[in-house]
Amino acid sequence: MWTNENRGRYDRSKLRYPSDVTNEEWALIEPLIPPAKGGGKTRTVVMREVVNGLMFVLSTGCQWRAIPKDLPPKSTVYGYFDLWTWDGTIGRIHEALYAACREQAGRDASPTAAIIDSQSVKSAEKGGSMIRLALMPARRSTARSGTFSSIRKAS
């Protein structure tokens, strides 16, 4: 509900871009970002700006090449996005922010119930083959293929 208290909490007008992370959000995200690798050159990019660049692309839906010039270069932002997707950092950041939002709303950190309607089930049947494969035991087909049935066995 939009109360005066909530309006102040969600006001992003003082940020450079509405997608920039606030100090509270950054306090949750910063410990989850992996440290720089040892050896070689030291990390010179500001990690908060990389996260701001990533949030800009995700919130606006713009192309990587359309990242504003006052954020890190697109190659840097995309490079960290690719690395963090591969090593699971993006998932950990999402879980931390998700749990914080639920707790802030006075709910448990993770939901205890879900509602699945028939449309959701139909969608999962059509496009969720990977989910079905992961959840269902393997079965062998008992049907013969067209090429198999056209070949006669030698007696």
Q: Is residue 147 part of a domain?
A: no
Residue 146 token pair: 């067209």
Tell me which residue range forms the domain holding 22: 4-104
Spans in the chain with pLDDT lower than 70: 1-2, 6-11, 109, 112, 120-155
What pLDDT, on the 0 to 100 scale, is given for residue 84?
93
Task: For residue range 84-123, list pLDDT tens digits in order.
Answer: 999 999 999 888 888 888 877 777 767 767 777 777 556 5
Q: Is residue 76 part of a domain?
A: yes
Q: Is residue 146 part of a domain?
A: no
Number of folded domains that form the chain: 1
Q: Is residue 93 part of a domain?
A: yes
Q: Is residue 144 part of a domain?
A: no
Q: Is residue 124 part of a domain?
A: no
- What is the pTM assigned to this prediction? 0.63
